[in-house]
Each structure stands twice: as C-alpha cells, then as structure tokens.
A = this chain, B = another copy of it.
Amino acid sequence: MTESTPAPGEPRVPGAREIPEATVARLPVYLRALTALADAGTATCSSEELASSTGVNSAKLRKDLSYLGSYGTRGVGYDVAYLRYQIARQIGVTQDWPVVIVGIGNLGHALANYSGFRSRGFRVVALLDADPDRQDEVVAGVDVRPFRDLDRIVREHGVAIGVIATPAVAAQNVADRMVTAGITSILNFAPAVLAVPDGVDVRKVDLSIELQILAYHEQRKTGAATDPDPLAVQGGVA
C-alpha cells in the first residue's frame, strides 16, 4: 500500500518501535476478543486463550504483542483491561475519528448503520451523494448532503478518513475530490484501482474478489476444472 516513507535514517517517532503491517492487521482482532473477555468479566488471560479465541497461533500472538511492549506477566498472562487499552491506544481508536461516506446505495446504507464503527471511535459526520433527490433523507441519524459540500464538511469536522461506496466509474473522481479536500485515508469499496498521491493511504475491500478466491479453492476441492482447450476462447467468458 502507499506507505508514507519513514524518512530514511531517522525513526518516525523517537520511542516507537516499527510495527509490522501483518501485526497491525491483527491488532483489531485481538482488540475485539479482549473486549468480549472484558464484557464477560474476565480479568486475566493467557496468550494461549487469547490466541485460540482469535484463531491465531499463540507464538504469533505473543510476538505481535511484543511489538507494542512488555505488557504481560510471566507465569500469569495478560491483564485484559490493561492490554485492551494499550492495543486501542496503538491503533488509535481511543480517539474520535470523524468519517464521511460517499455513495448512498445499499452498501452506503449498510455502512452508515453499522454499529461496529461507532463503538470503535468512528463517527459518521455526513453521508454524501451526487443525486439531488436523495438529499432530504436521513440515514441512521445522519443527514444526506450534496457531494459538493465535501470540502466544507471535511474542513468543519476535521475529517481525515473517507469511505467510497459509489459505483466504480465515479470512484476516481470522488477520490480526487477527497484528496483535494484534505482527506488522507480512504477505504474503497468500489471495484476500481484508485490513483492517489504519496501520503494518502488507500485500503480496498472488494466483495466479489473474496467470493472468487473461495471459488478457486472450491473448484480445486471438487476437482471440477473447466476444459483447458484453447479453442474454447472463441466463445469467451459470459
């Protein structure tokens, strides 16, 4: 992904270790498991327990946590509340993150209503849509605003993160406008490759790609491969 170059030679933050990308991707999973444990009233847990409830290897879990610091106690395990706070702080979900969502189709609706956002510090400050007919609606308690208001909304609320839930053809234009408005992190649900300047992070979630990966493995399981006959190309794929 578009990693902001850490200025060759000098570390990004003096005391902060560099956390590997693979570890960063797992921290939210640990956070969720710790929250569940805390809600269940559990005060302490071992790396083995936490690992099995998150579906990872316990050695990997311990190595992941070691990048954050030494927050466990040998012979005992981890304090659930303490570890949870430390992970939340590292990820950044102890802060408030104002977010805008662009594109109010089915997916935009689903995202606006998704409770998992609010509970982790993400606050949807506006839903934007280019269609003027939609701008009287209120979805999930948030006003639908015209897309042209993007700049003002970003400025007023200090929005750093934008979500694109538009059709593919509109995605690049939306991304450009977001970047211009000052957004530096984009979560893209549109099936399109976005070009953005350095310093802007883009993560992509593609629903059909995940299904296709499953189909690949499923095909291998059942051994049902299509005829590799090159002549079949004439017909093409539907």
Residues of A at under 8 Å CB distance from B?
3-4, 12-13, 16, 24-25, 27-29, 31-33, 38, 53-55, 81-82, 84-86, 88-95, 97, 99, 105-107, 109-111, 113-114, 116-117, 119-122, 160-161, 163, 184-187, 191, 193, 199, 201, 203, 205-226, 228, 230, 232-233, 236-238
Contact = CB atoms under 8 A, between A and B. Distances in A.
A215 B84 contact: no
Contact of A89 (B24, B113, B211, B225): B225
B207 A114 contact: yes
Q: Interface on chain A toward B: helix, strand, loop, or mixed SS?
A: helix
A195 to B, nearest CB: 8
19 contacts: A4-B220, A24-B216, A25-B209, A28-B206, A38-B236, A85-B237, A88-B237, A92-B212, A92-B216, A92-B226, A93-B237, A106-B109, A106-B110, A107-B110, A110-B110, A121-B215, A161-B215, A163-B211, A203-B213
